[in-house]
């Protein structure tokens, strides 16, 4: 009987070992990784990952073409650094000191938008090559002849480049010149009305016609 009891106890211990909650060999690393992982962490939450995904999801920016609404704006030509540029810059209709427009490098078919303020002779504008993100800042001064000069910097105020622009017209078409050998007609000019009283008429001199009758004269 004693031997049977010992055998029964040994069998019970063996069954208890088989039903243990200890993970099988090789699963300890998996369990540790699961314990260390945060809820919802699939390895895509590394710093900058979300921003990179958003950037990839955005459609690429399209190059900007000249805006017909700016065609009549005053035009300035000159240099930005060592490159030739042309800028169209006009006043905003909804802001007292606001200005806007566009510029492009010589020979380029695409433009860069600009907008900002002109306060007296001081010009401060920002630029954008896609109409959304600021890509540069311009700060300059207007001279008495209408030219403007200053510096253009990146959005973080780095890499300053000098610019010097001169006005070349308002963009309005001029009247055609007269053909060679012809004289352009002069516009009639009406005299401004005088506010002074008219002087009294001078008496007729001797020997002059009187009242429209040539054979009646006044002698001495």
Pick from 164, 168, 136: nearest CA to 152: 136
Bridge partner list, 118: 123
Pick from 151, 170, 164: nearest CA to 85: 164
Q: What does the alpha-carbon distance between residue 44 and residue 56 come to, in Å, rounded to a whole number? A: 15
Q: What is the pLDDT of residue 146?
A: 96
Could you tell me the end-to-end alpha-carbon distance of the chain, in angstroms, rounded to an integer? 186
pLDDT, tens digit, for every residue of 68-108? Answer: 999 999 999 999 999 999 999 999 999 999 999 999 999 99
Here the tokens at position 115 are 């907008």
Higher pLDDT, 192 or 34: 34
* Domains along the chain with CATH numbers: 68-169 (2.40.160)
Here the tokens at position 122 are 């001081």
Q: What does the alpha-carbon distance between residue 48 and residue 43 come to, in Å, rounded to a whole number? A: 12
Q: What does the alpha-carbon distance between residue 58 and residue 132 come to, in Å, rounded to a whole number? A: 13
CA 39 vs CA 19, 43, 52, 53, 165: distances in Å: 29, 11, 22, 20, 59
Here the tokens at position 104 are 């492009």
Which DSSP string corresponds to 166-181? EEEE-SPPPPPPPPTT
Could you tell me the pTM of the whole model? 0.52
Q: Are 87 and 114 in contact (CB under 8 A)?
A: yes
pLDDT, tens digit, for every residue of 4-29? Answer: 555 555 555 555 554 545 445 555 55
Other beta carbons less than 10 A from residue 112's beta carbon: 20
Higher pLDDT, 190 or 48: 48
pLDDT, tens digit, for every residue of 118-170? Answer: 999 999 999 999 999 999 999 999 999 999 999 999 999 999 999 999 999 64
Q: What is the pLDDT of residue 201?
A: 56
Other beta carbons less than 10 A from residue 99's beta carbon: 18
Pick from 92, 143, 148: nearest CA to 115: 92
Residue found by looking up tokens 């909650």 in the block: 21
């Amino acid at each position: 009987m004693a031997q049977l009891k010992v055998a029964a106890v040994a069998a019970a211990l063996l069954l208890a070992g088989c039903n243990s909650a200890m993970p099988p060999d090789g699963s300890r690393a998996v369990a540790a990784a699961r314990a260390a992982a945060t809820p919802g962490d699939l390895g895509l939450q590394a710093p900058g990952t979300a921003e990179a995904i958003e950037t990839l999801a955005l459609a690429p920016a399209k190059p900007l073409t000249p805006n017909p609404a700016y065609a009549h704006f005053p035009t300035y030509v000159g240099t930005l650094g060592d490159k030739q540029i042309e800028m169209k810059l006009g006043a905003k209709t909804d802001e007292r000191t606001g200005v806007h427009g566009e510029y492009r490098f010589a020979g380029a078919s695409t433009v860069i938008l600009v907008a900002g303020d002109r306060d007296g002779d001081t010009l401060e504008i920002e630029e954008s090559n896609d109409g959304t993100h600021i890509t540069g800042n311009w700060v300059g001064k207007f001279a008495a002849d209408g030219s403007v000069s200053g510096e253009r910097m990146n959005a973080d105020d780095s890499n300053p480049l000098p610019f010097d622009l001169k006005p070349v017209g308002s963009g309005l078409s001029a009247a055609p010149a007269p053909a060679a050998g012809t004289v352009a007609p002069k516009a009639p000019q009406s005299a401004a009305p005088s506010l002074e009283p008219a002087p009294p008429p001078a008496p007729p001199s001797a020997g002059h016609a009187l009242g429209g009758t040539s054979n009646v004269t006044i002698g001495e």
